[in-house]
Amino acid sequence: SVQEDTVETSDPESTVTKIEVTHIGKTASAMTDSFITMMQFISIGTFIIFAVLSLIVSWLVGSRLSKRVAKISKQVEALKPGDLDARIAPDGSDDEIGKLIESINGMLGRLQNATEAERRFVSNASHELRTPIAAVATNLDAPLSQGRFPADVEPAIRRALAANRRGSDLVQALLTLSRIQSGVIDAEDVTALQLADFIDDELAEVEEQADKRNILVTTRDVAGDVQVQASKSLMDLAIGNLLRNAIMHNISSGTLDIAARQEHCAIIVTITNSTDETLPDDLMNLKQPFHRGEHSRISAEPGVGLGLSIADAACEAMGATLELDRPDEQSFRATITIASA
């Protein structure tokens, strides 16, 4: 560094030289400060530019990943429990998200194989059970009707026949449920059904059962010109099982009310019955096979616990929904909603 010498001298030239050196030193110092300041501004500007670019790149990458994940999430949410062939559409990528899609599809494939194997087992087992059940009924019914059993044995034979009939009903219900779930009974035979006539026919099928228990049956709001586009076989399974369920789990001298109305783009059928049974807090559990009310188990009411399961499977097969609720503590209601054109 150049420092100014303050020693006085009588030489004019020496004085001039000292002043020039001092001026050069000040100029160099100013240039150095200016350069350092400029470099600081350049460094800060570069940092800001890179920070902004990093944010933009991160946002673009994050947005793209978020859209891909959201797309997968929507496809997963859209999966229907009964549609075993459904899969997540691959996006052609080989990254972690692509591997996630492969894993989900692999899991769905294994679930499909397990479900189909279970349905085949139920169907095959039900078919195999029909023969011995029919044989037991034949071998007991004929001798009983001919009076060939001693009087003290007849009550046991009748109980055995009642249990055998219950087993036969169970096998038939399992076969029906299996046929619906496997697509043997499907919605291909869609036809235009006059709703009022169809409900009258279904009520005629259960009229004898209702009369035995002195149940008052009423119909409301069933317009004669309302048509529903649906499979007759599936509608019969849905409405028929709900009506039988409403009679079976009703009280003596109770009520059964069936109503149908068209609302916007849907036809809504409700079946309401009186009951004193203790039902689960989550009524949707009643749709599960063999899940019945506590009162019906204690009182040994007839039935195999598959009526609501079959009705729900039939509704799902024809694109309808079945909802269960309790309008009050003494009643139970099943609601079928069928989309209409």
Per-residue HEC secondary structure of 146-209 comes to CCCCCCCCHHHHHHHHHHHHHHHHHHHHHHHHHHHHCCCCCCCCEEEEEHHHHHHHHHHHCHHH
How many other CB atoms sit within 10 Å of the CB of residue 292? 22
Q: Does residue 244 sit in the same domain as residue 148?
A: no
In the three-class reduction of DSSP (H, G, I as helix; E, B as strand; rest coil), residue 319 is classed as coil
pLDDT digits (tens, 9 = 90+) for 36-85: 888 878 888 888 888 888 888 888 777 777 888 888 888 888 887 667 77
Query: In CATH, what number is assigned to the domain containing residue 295?
Result: 3.30.565.10
Q: Does residue 219 sit in the same domain as residue 196?
A: yes
- The mean pLDDT of 272-284, rounded to a whole number, is 83
pLDDT digits (tens, 9 = 90+) for 185-244: 655 567 788 888 888 888 988 888 899 899 999 888 776 677 888 888 888 888 988 998
Q: Does residue 173 sit in the same domain as residue 202?
A: no
Q: Does residue 205 sit in the same domain as residue 261?
A: yes
Q: Does residue 315 sit in the same domain as residue 195?
A: yes
Alpha carbon distance 280, 293 (integer Å):
7
CB 209 within 8 A of CB 244: yes
Higher-scoring residue by pLDDT: 97, 33? 97
In a domain? residue 6: no
Range of lowest pLDDT (125-134, 296-305, 315-324): 296-305
Q: Does residue 143 sit in the same domain as residue 235?
A: no
In a domain? residue 121: yes
In a domain? residue 53: no
When pLDDT is cut at 50, 70 and 90, the band that residue 255 belongs to is very high
Give pLDDT, residue 230: 80
Which tokens sit at 218? 């009423």
Q: Does residue 107 sit in the same domain as residue 240?
A: no
When pLDDT is cut at 50, 70 and 90, the band that residue 292 belongs to is low
Q: Does residue 174 sit in the same domain as residue 280?
A: no
In a domain? residue 260: yes
When pLDDT is cut at 50, 70 and 90, the band that residue 304 belongs to is low
Structural domain including 176 reads 96-181
Q: What percent of the chain has pLDDT over 70?
A: 84
In a domain? residue 262: yes
- The mean pLDDT of 319-323, rounded to a whole number, is 89
Q: Does residue 175 sit in the same domain as residue 195?
A: no
Alpha carbon distance 114, 31 (integer Å):
81
- The mean pLDDT of 122-138, rounded to a whole number, is 79
Q: Does residue 196 sit in the same domain as residue 129?
A: no
Which tokens sit at 261? 């109305």
Q: Does residue 171 sit in the same domain as residue 202?
A: no
Q: Does residue 168 sit in the same domain as residue 203?
A: no
Residue 2 confidence (pLDDT) above 50: no
Of 110, 111, 91, 109, nearest to 101 (Cα)? 91
In a domain? residue 2: no
Of 155, 318, 298, 170, nearest to 235 (Cα)? 318
Q: Where is the domain boundary, 181, 213, 233?
A: 181
When pLDDT is cut at 50, 70 and 90, the band that residue 175 belongs to is confident
Q: Where is the domain boundary, 116, 147, 181?
A: 181
Give pLDDT, residue 254: 92
Residue 297 confidence (pLDDT) above 50: no
Number of structural domains in the chain: 2
CB 148 within 8 A of CB 207: no
Query: In CATH, what number is assigned to the domain containing residue 141?
Result: 1.10.287.130
User: Taking the model in full, what pTM does it have?
Assistant: 0.58
